[in-house]
Copies of this chain bind each other. A is one copy, B any other.
Amino acid sequence: MISSILSGDRAFIARAISMIENEDPEINDIMSKLYSKTGNAFVIGITGPPGTGKSTLINQLISSFRKLNKKVGVIAIDPSSPISGGSLLGDRLRMQDHGSDSGVYIRSMASGNRSGGLAKATRRSISVLDASGFDVIIVESVGAGQSEVDILKITDTVVIVLMPELGDDIQMYKAGLMEIGDIFVINKSDLKGSDKMYTRLLAYIGSNENNNWSPNVIQTISTDGTGISNLLKSILARKEFITNSLNHPSYKKNKIKNQILDIMIESLKTSFLQEVNNDINLDSLVDTVYKNEIDPEQAAAVLKTKLDS
């Protein structure tokens, strides 16, 4: 299986990612063996509010990278709403131009309810695609919440796709995300308000450097390809910056450190909840709070001493 993945066999890539999604215990060993073959891919995270045209934009980017002869993997984090009867992110991409191109691999990943687990599954899927020779890996996510920020922290560059005419609301909507954007795209820039938004973003970015990288703002119209070459240039500049201008080892090591800490926090949380479920009877503690004798913070402090003892 390892050698099939390393040779880029799509069936085995798909199988590995399914094992990751299902948390199949056998995947742990596979991952640790694949890990030494990773580190070559450039990972792009793309996010933005609904309706901004992310799928079309990604479709254009795939074409651009293919023209540079780069193999492109896409992981579309899919909230898989029970309401939507419509097409899902990955499908939407697949249905477009790249379905038969062996240099393109597109995979949906259901977000489910696994907040920390989703970042882990994404990280591992990136490693699988990385090890199997994809040069560029695009991770698309749409409003997956805090886990979205966790996922984007894994990537090498974060592209945030906005559009004009969304009102102030839309800028407010993802305040936590704006801080981690490396490249801002104003898509549908033929709509009214694009230039005003451009000016605003530039003003904002002036005060917002990430490790000496000044975020770019690019105006695009993804449906006709306007601005895509600028976006590609910006992504390549970011790649160049990370590889050469930054202290590359320390950049990488900092990412690794954060990954280890994220994994640990998730694992602490899981074992705490298990411990509470198996060993600790919370009922009497809950009762005292219910009777307003202590508040939830005090109850948590009591629980802490129980756990420590």
Interface residues of A (CB under 8 A from B): 28, 31-32, 35-39, 49-51, 78-89, 111, 113, 115, 120, 123, 127, 142-149, 166-176, 178-179, 200-201, 204, 207-208, 249, 252-253, 256-257, 259-261, 263-265, 267-269, 272-273, 276, 282-283, 285-287, 289-290, 292-300, 303-304, 307
Contact = CB atoms under 8 A, between A and B. Distances in A.
Q: Report whether over half of chain A's contact residues are helix, strand or loop; otherwise say mixed.
A: helix
Contact of A289 (B170, B260, B261, B290): B260
Contact of A111 (B36, B176, B265): B176
Contact of A172 (B142, B166, B276): B142
A50 B172 contact: yes
Nearest to A201: B83
A168 B86 contact: yes
B269 A175 contact: no
**Total copies of the chain:** 2
B38 A292 contact: yes
Given A80-B172, A260-B282, 11 more contacts: A37-B292, A39-B292, A81-B172, A82-B175, A143-B173, A145-B176, A253-B290, A259-B296, A260-B300, A264-B304, A265-B273
A50 B169 contact: yes
B290 A252 contact: yes
15 contacts: A49-B49, A50-B170, A51-B169, A79-B172, A79-B173, A79-B175, A80-B172, A82-B179, A144-B176, A145-B147, A145-B176, A260-B300, A260-B303, A263-B299, A268-B268
